[in-house]
């Protein structure tokens, strides 16, 4: 996964056209507006084991940093659900 994929999926689940999000900051702003308009308190991300792999590379760190930034923005909480890959 990459940041654009995560933004696209979250916006699509909120029935918002993902359009063309070029930066993480724009993605956070769009997701925050969507969450506020729907009075969202919690976003659940399932299958999160596919987002970060055991051999973490720079792209994975960008995704986890992006998720951290979403939580820091203070609009809602995130719940990550998945299985430990073996």
**pLDDT-based confidence at 39, cuts 50/70/90?**
very high
Query: For residues 12 and 5, is the Cβ–Cβ distance under 8 A?
Result: no
Q: Cα–Cα distance between 25 and 69 in angstroms, integer?
A: 9
Residue carrying the six token digits 């029935």: 15
pLDDT of residue 55: 64
Residue 32, token pair as written in the block = 């925050």
Whether the pLDDT of residue 36 is over 80: the answer is yes
Instruction: Look at residue 27 and tell me whether its pLDDT is greater than 80.
Output: yes
């Amino acid at each position: 996964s990459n940041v654009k994929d995560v933004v696209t999926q979250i916006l699509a689940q909120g029935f918002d056209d993902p359009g063309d999000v070029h930066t993480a900051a724009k993605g956070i702003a769009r997701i925050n507006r969507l969450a506020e308009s729907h009075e969202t308190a919690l976003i659940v991300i399932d299958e999160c084991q596919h987002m970060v792999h055991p051999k973490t590379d720079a792209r994975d760190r960008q995704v986890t940093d992006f998720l951290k930034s979403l939580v820091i923005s203070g609009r809602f909480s995130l719940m990550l659900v998945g299985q430990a890959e073996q």
